[in-house]
Structure 1
């Protein structure tokens, strides 16, 4: 039986961390993420910016052992507790979303895709570290019959290690957990000899209009054609965007979310960040003008968001090793352009203090590859309940890492982390 936990902060380790959607959600649920593993140096750098007390390991999980991750967690504990007691080594949860393109219903669903094996690498690390619980996120395609052998191999290994598992029977929709996006995912949870309760849905759906409220319209700032950030006070909220919502007030930090147990960030709320605009031809703009909300523009196949509904799934596109192709971005519901990275972040439930790489290509990929934090928070709350934990709200205010982490090239970020070239994504190529 899982022992009761005091009101201390719980301890989490994040594998396949990206920029930290799972990390943020679990931090909001009362966990301290001591270590995060991410093989892409650019994503690892952005993770380090937003989570400066987390020890970020820029390595390929396949080449790491559980002992390697645990050793990094000791360093992360010291970052969280510079003058406190030594860590006892107990890990409450290992979380992660292994690369899922091989299982994706939007891709080729390749049974032989080498990325499918990353599911087993996640399981290997869990079994080696033996945390009290785990959280595994993936695409609904994982549940298809063709993937039964690899899925059952993973689940059997976890059961043999003593974990009672839930969530492998059907996907959940992020929209049911307060995310303004119809993003379906499989969230598999397990705990040692304890039942993990199902994720608790949100009481009220959030619309695109709710998510964009209080967000200045980047179209009103010509400077954002060449810049990533501008002062919010340089242009007013657009007439179409005067709606208010609880969701938006919490994204801006104007209203405290009583369910959010994360550390407050010391951020400059006067800046509108990650809002560089995309250039469109006059012909594209003409076609966008003719596309009503909730419809698909027939040439580009771009979908226009509906203010009264939720976004479709925000997709990441392919990485450098797969040709670096960009997925179609949604069209703004009112303006005749694709959405900015900050607008995508609102649709994904990232608060406005969270920063992404300054380029649109990296920024949109980082969001599309992330678990929506509010969905991750729901998973974290279920894990905490299974562990009989009542984690406290973090009291300290956290300063970010160096802002240069947000603009690093692959080479610069690789040098920062002393990344092994053989473990990094392949160079970006186009044909």
Structure 2
């Protein structure tokens, strides 16, 4: 029997096919989805790849909303504060009645829970899940999916997680839930990115939700970048970091060479492993010199946006809105990829929900 890694199409080919699926006309029986906290389209793209019909995307950031419209011109984008979006307005814009929506999805901002942040219990961003619960309470979707950082179930933050879980289960007619930590690298993404996934199914459907099983095989950085130019040019490392970059091994952080473990946000990527988690923050000076981020293993520069898109499972043709300033555009695109749920991760979860809950045979 031919080994799986020979039978499988290359990662770039799989990503290309996924984009073709995302941009194809929707089937008449396509499941419906509304995406809240949509960002620059990581989740939306995953649902489009899985054949869903996205009826509405909710996002307050202007650059993110412009990026969504740029890639999905027909998509209805609510650009504003989710707290000001009423259930009645959602129903008016989508033409739905309560109970008709297949899937409500949301990734409430996670900075208050992040293990790399200050993790304050009273951070107001920790309460944004309540807006998501409010929409569930009024829309009665068949399924909801909430995604967040793993820090939500670590230490003192677990109190807020339990509060959120109780609220989700009690919303509307009541929901059966399953939750767990899933790493994107097990769902076809060439990046190690662990996320908390909560899936809820409306009680009247009589189905206990499950999480998707890991897929076989990991995709390395080298496999992911196949076909892209291997160029020295890019946002080059600041001169003061060059000696540290030269001494840092592949796949290691600059903090390994610092006596107090600082410089954790500087990492030299390993070509033969999945990429580490792409953080939303990147340091670039006005002269284009890099001060922190993910660095190429061969060239002393930041990963380029085309490279970063591959590692974040954004298709090559995917575009980020531009301002005309190359530094701002680079940072905005990096921020968008680092702050997104990887599209292929969302696609795998969406396919699992469709097969196990939303298809007639699952009920």
TM over 0.5, yes or no?
Answer: yes
- The question of whether the paired residues in 2 share the 8 Å contact of 1:178 and 1:202 is answered with yes
Match runs of 1:347-362 below 5 Å: 347-358=311-322, 359-362=329-332
Match runs of 1:233-382 below 5 Å: 277-297=234-254, 298=257, 301=264, 302-317=266-281, 328-358=292-322, 359-382=329-352
- The question of whether the paired residues in 2 share the 8 Å contact of 1:285 and 1:337 is answered with no
- The question of whether the paired residues in 2 share the 8 Å contact of 1:36 and 1:57 is answered with yes
Tell me the CA shift for residue 142 of structure 1: 1.1
- The question of whether the paired residues in 2 share the 8 Å contact of 1:9 and 1:30 is answered with yes
Deviations 1:68-106 (A, max 9, x none): 2233334xxxxxxxxxxxx67721001110001111111
Q: Distance in 1 between matches of 2:291 and 2:59?
A: 22
- The question of whether the paired residues in 2 share the 8 Å contact of 1:34 and 1:53 is answered with no
1:196 alignment partner, SS class: coil
Match runs of 1:186-205 below 5 Å: 186-193=196-203, 194-205=207-218
Tell me the CA shift for residue 286 of structure 1: 4.7
Q: Distance in 2 between matches of 1:143 and 1:104?
A: 10
Structure 1: runs of 5 or more not aligned: 1-5, 75-86, 221-276, 319-325, 391-431
Tell me the CA shift for residue 47 of structure 1: 1.0
- The question of whether the paired residues in 1 share the 8 Å contact of 2:237 and 2:291 is answered with no
Aligned to 1:398: none
Is the deviation greater in 28-37 or in 60-69? Answer: 60-69
Q: Distance in 1 between matches of 2:57 and 2:358?
A: 25
TM-score by length of 2: 0.79
Tell me the CA shift for residue 340 of structure 1: 1.4
Match runs of 1:12-23 below 5 Å: 12-23=33-44
- The question of whether the paired residues in 2 share the 8 Å contact of 1:292 and 1:304 is answered with yes
The 1:192/1:60 distance shift into structure 2, 3 A limit, reads same
Aligned to 1:78: none
Aligned to 1:176: 186
**Residue 140 of structure 2 is aligned to residue 130 of structure 1:** yes
Aligned to 1:94: 104
2:131 alignment partner, SS class: helix
Which of 34, 45, 49 is matched with 2:70 structurally? 49
Q: CA RMSD in A?
A: 2.4
Aligned to 2:51: 30
- The question of whether the paired residues in 2 share the 8 Å contact of 1:102 and 1:115 is answered with yes
Aligned to 1:206: 219
Which of 47, 54, 61 is matched with 1:40 structurally? 61
Match runs of 1:57-72 below 5 Å: 57-72=78-93
- The question of whether the paired residues in 1 share the 8 Å contact of 2:60 and 2:80 is answered with yes
Larger relative CO (CA 8 A, sep 6+): 1 or 2?
1
Q: Distance in 2 between matches of 1:158 and 1:102?
A: 19
Aligned to 1:384: 354
Deviations 1:35-92 (A, max 9, x none): 1010001111001111212101111111212222233334xxxxxxxxxxxx677210
Structure 2: runs of 5 or more not aligned: 1-26, 283-289, 323-328
- The question of whether the paired residues in 2 share the 8 Å contact of 1:176 and 1:201 is answered with yes
